[in-house]
């Protein structure tokens, strides 16, 4: 099939790679603009651009698609059978949705209709879901509201972070896309309208980072997992930020929430007589390390109350 691929971040790369390996003709990769990154603010291309160029696929980086007739004409010239959209990062206007022969197919990182929006992976972990998955859908003008085509489920173990789920679902998404396009070619796709419980997954913010020790350990553990790798859960220790990258639910305790109750492993009391073990931490200006290693280099005593 002749395909226009629209995507930007690392999550979209396995889907693009799968289109190539499945023998589809990817005639154009549409992605967002190069952006400055790192301490030196070096202009860096999106992962999809790098992958497309490595396969000799032309790349197009329009500033916008809404009210942009030049972009619409560029897409029309591709004469694509279908456009595949994976984490492109911009809403497609009706003029774009109508261009490909079979419309636009989106790979979304949740089991729709739950977790529509920008951060479905992180919110599934933040909310302590036992499973997530990917859904392919026929795109419409609404936000992730189109008819569902195919889905693949994925369990979320209690120690899985959002970053790890991201990597798993990116591969599941590639398989779901491959199966969807095969069914499209065979004429066997059966779109299903979205019904049932819906919820939205808005973008994450840095303000979500701070751990509230009055909450039970299970909720804080989900916060640590769901905000890993960004923006990271954190507390305050000695007037500085202490990021918590990995945790584990600890033993029951009567201590006031926020109290350091054990040093090995580094354990802090939480609401509801629960506790949280801080397995991997990072002090402001320092590197990531095991919680027990951090305590060996810093004077933290049992009974200290966080944040301080």
Task: Summarize pLDDT for 55-76 with one digit per residue, the tens.
Answer: 999 999 999 999 999 999 999 9
- In the chain, the domains with their CATH numbers are 2-186 (3.40.50.170), 206-297 (3.10.25.10)
Task: Summarize pLDDT for 83-98 with one digit per residue, the tens.
Answer: 999 999 999 999 999 9
All residues at 6 or more sequence positions from 266 whose CB lies less than 8 Å from its CB, including other chains: 260, 277, 278, 279, 281, 291, 292, 294, 295, 300
Q: For the chain (length 308 residues), average pLDDT per consecutive 10? A: 98 99 99 93 97 99 96 98 98 97 99 97 99 98 94 98 99 99 98 95 98 99 99 98 99 98 97 99 97 94 97
């Amino acid at each position: 099939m002749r395909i226009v691929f629209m995507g930007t971040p690392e999550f979209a790369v396995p889907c693009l790679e799968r289109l190539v390996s499945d023998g589809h003709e990817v005639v154009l990769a549409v992605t967002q603009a190069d952006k400055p990154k790192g301490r030196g603010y070096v202009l860096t291309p999106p992962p999809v651009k790098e992958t497309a160029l490595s396969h000799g696929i032309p790349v197009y980086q329009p500033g916008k698609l809404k009210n942009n007739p030049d972009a619409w004409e560029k897409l029309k010239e591709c004469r694509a059978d279908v456009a595949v959209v994976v984490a492109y990062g911009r809403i497609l206007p009706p003029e774009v949705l109508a261009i490909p022969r079979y419309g636009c197919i989106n790979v979304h990182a949740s089991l729709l209709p739950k977790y529509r929006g920008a951060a479905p992976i992180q919110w599934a972990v933040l909310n302590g879901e036992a499973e997530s998955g990917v859904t392919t859908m026929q795109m419409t003008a609404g936000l992730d509201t189109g008819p569902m085509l195919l889905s693949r489920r994925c369990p979320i173990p209690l120690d899985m972070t959002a970053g790890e789920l991201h990597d798993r679902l990116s591969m599941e998404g590639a398989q779901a896309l491959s199966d969807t396009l095969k069914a499209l070619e065979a004429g066997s796709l059966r779109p299903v309208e979205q019904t049932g419980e819906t919820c939205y997954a808005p973008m994450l913010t840095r303000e979500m980072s701070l751990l509230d020790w009055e909450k039970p350990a299970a909720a804080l553990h989900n916060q640590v997992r769901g905000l890993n790798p960004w923006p990271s859960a954190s507390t305050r220790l000695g007037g500085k930020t202490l990021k918590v990258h990995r945790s584990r639910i600890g033993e029951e305790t009567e201590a006031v929430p926020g109290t350091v109750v054990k040093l090995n492993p580094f354990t802090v009391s939480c609401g509801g007589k629960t506790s949280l073990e801080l397995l991997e931490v990072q002090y402001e200006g320092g590197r990531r390390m095991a919680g027990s290693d951090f305590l060996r280099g810093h004077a933290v005593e049992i009974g200290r109350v966080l944040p301080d």
